[in-house]
Structure 1
Amino acid sequence: MNAASPLPYVENNRFLQGVDVALVRELRERGRTISVKKASTVYRLAEANNGLYLVVSGSVRLAIPNQSGRELVLLHVNEGEWFGELACTDMLKRAQNAIAVVDSVLWHLPAPAIEQLTARHPIFWKFIAQIQSDHLRRFISYLGCLSEPTICRTIHLLVCNAQDSSRGKVVRLPQEEMAMVLGVTRQTASRCLQELERGNMIKRGYKEIWILSLESLQKKYQEASEAG
């Protein structure tokens, strides 16, 4: 699969399985590919809705800034995942910032195209609702581990952002990004990763972390959570 092509993610999307091929064809034809550099803004809080996005490669952080400029990270959207659905649903302004974590390629479906697609194919609303539901469930899961020890939150972050590849499951989040999400220093995040690596649960590489054993990570989470 060409990593810069959105077509496989559009045509084989799990939320679009079983829908009219005409809808998939229109969806494929109405979008356009854009490139964004690391730390670039895709859209900002309170901006007007400009459509739906698909991550073709890279990663995007969805976050809410506070008055001091720090961000509350809601979730990360990785390769093959969609974002921007909330404003497409209620037609209100953007509810958070969307920032590229690394150099990324996105596929953009403009707001006017969404209006036309939903008018011609009402089932497309279900597609948007499923994206929104998926994000909400992930955020609820994230909230559920906020009171857990840092090592537990590190494991949760790794598991939630693991992507399938030909060599297994891999996480492509920079360490500074992980530290920001966890609300700890880079040194603390590094110590947590070192602990997991010593236990042969993960293996760190250049700009990536490989999951060696999901079962071991889950066991470690439970043990650390019970220990408090």
Structure 2
Amino acid sequence: MDKKEALNLFATVVGVEENYILKDLDAVSMLIAKQKGEYIFFEGDKGEDLYFILKGAVRLFKTSYDGREITLHIAEKDDIFAEIVLFLENRYPASAVALEDTLLLSINSYKLFEKISQNPAIAMKLLGAFAKRINFLAERLKQLSIEDAKERVMEYLEKNADSSNTVRLSLPKKEIATMLGVTPETFSRIIKKLKEDGILTINGKNLRIIR
């Protein structure tokens, strides 16, 4: 994918169609390739760039005081992340690592808004798109702080179940566990207990909720 295609895709996702905005985006952005396991930034790093995923997946996580990684979100193709630097004095509040080979469109947020400051309507469109993601992350942090592990696991299963109440574990259990803020061992124990309680049936990677 070349940069022109990347910019057009980003503009479509955020709902911006004006041609001059694409020119402004071109001046303040660049394509970045990251290999699986490569970090994009670390929690607490200074930075002004937000990112749009063109290909691949990125894990956003925080590190607890005892060194445990707590996954906030798995960002995938067409997702925007790190837009929160607009409001946090150029500091990334979480770390980001590529889960697979990933292609990103990196956009310098401050230079972009300098360019479009004369058009509040366009600025509001972009801010609106970013605000949705910020609200999502705020709710994610709230969830981690107030819900116990079993509730988080059940909520994950219910949200990802299909019409037959079946969930396929497409991600490794370790990634699901860290996304839910529990250890892999705790996640496995909870799944086993849910099965013993008659709440789940298990067939390989397929879990069916039967209550």
TM-score relative to the length of structure 2: 0.69
Q: Aligned pair in 2 of structure 1 residues 34, 179: CA closer, same or farther (>3 Å)?
A: same
Distance apart, 1:113 and its partner CA: 3.0
Match in the other structure for 2:60: 62
Larger Rg: 2
The answer as to whether partners of 1:56 and 1:79 remain within 8 angstroms in 2 is yes
Q: Aligned pair in 2 of structure 1 residues 90, 41: CA closer, same or farther (>3 Å)?
A: same
Match in the other structure for 1:117: 115
The answer as to whether partners of 1:118 and 1:125 remain within 8 angstroms in 2 is no
SS of residue paired to 1:49? coil
The answer as to whether partners of 1:175 and 1:190 remain within 8 angstroms in 2 is no
Distance apart, 1:188 and its partner CA: 4.2
- Cα deviation, 1:192-217, whole Å, max 9, x if unaligned, reads 59x799679xx95xxxx9xxxxxx87
Match in the other structure for 2:12: 12
Q: Aligned pair in 2 of structure 1 residues 22, 9: CA closer, same or farther (>3 Å)?
A: same
For residues 169 and 102 of structure 2, what CA distance do their matches in structure 1 show?
A: 15
Question: Which of 149, 152, 155 is residue 154 of structure 2 equivalent to?
Answer: 152
For residues 95 and 142 of structure 1, what CA distance do their matches in structure 2 show?
A: 12
Task: Give the RMSD, CA atoms, in angstroms.
Answer: 4.1
Equivalenced residues, count: 197
Distance apart, 1:81 and its partner CA: 0.7
In the TM superposition, 1:1-228 aligns within 5 A as 6-13=6-13, 15-17=14-16, 20-28=18-26, 30-111=28-109, 113-122=111-120, 123-137=122-136, 139-140=138-139, 143-144=142-143, 146-147=147-148, 148-149=150-151, 151-155=153-157, 158=160, 173-182=171-180, 183-185=182-184, 188-189=187-188, 192=191, 223=211
Higher relative contact order (CA 8 A, sep 6+): 2
Distance apart, 1:6 and its partner CA: 2.2
- Cα deviation, 1:43-67, whole Å, max 9, x if unaligned, reads 1122212311001111112221123
For residues 31 and 89 of structure 2, what CA distance do their matches in structure 1 show?
A: 23
The answer as to whether partners of 2:72 and 2:137 remain within 8 angstroms in 1 is no
In the alignment, residue 55 of structure 2 is paired with which amino acid?
Answer: S
In the alignment, residue 12 of structure 1 is paired with which amino acid?
Answer: T
Q: Structure 2: which 5+ runs fail to align?
A: 163-167
For residues 67 and 25 of structure 1, what CA distance do their matches in structure 2 show?
A: 44
For residues 198 and 8 of structure 1, what CA distance do their matches in structure 2 show?
A: 45
In the alignment, residue 97 of structure 2 is paired with which amino acid?
Answer: I
In the alignment, residue 152 of structure 1 is paired with which amino acid?
Answer: M
For residues 3 and 21 of structure 1, what CA distance do their matches in structure 2 show?
A: 17
Q: Aligned pair in 2 of structure 1 residues 101, 135: CA closer, same or farther (>3 Å)?
A: farther
Distance apart, 1:126 and its partner CA: 3.8
- Cα deviation, 1:137-178, whole Å, max 9, x if unaligned, reads 36526745833546414325747xx9xxxxxxx986443211
For residues 155 and 183 of structure 2, what CA distance do their matches in structure 1 show?
A: 11
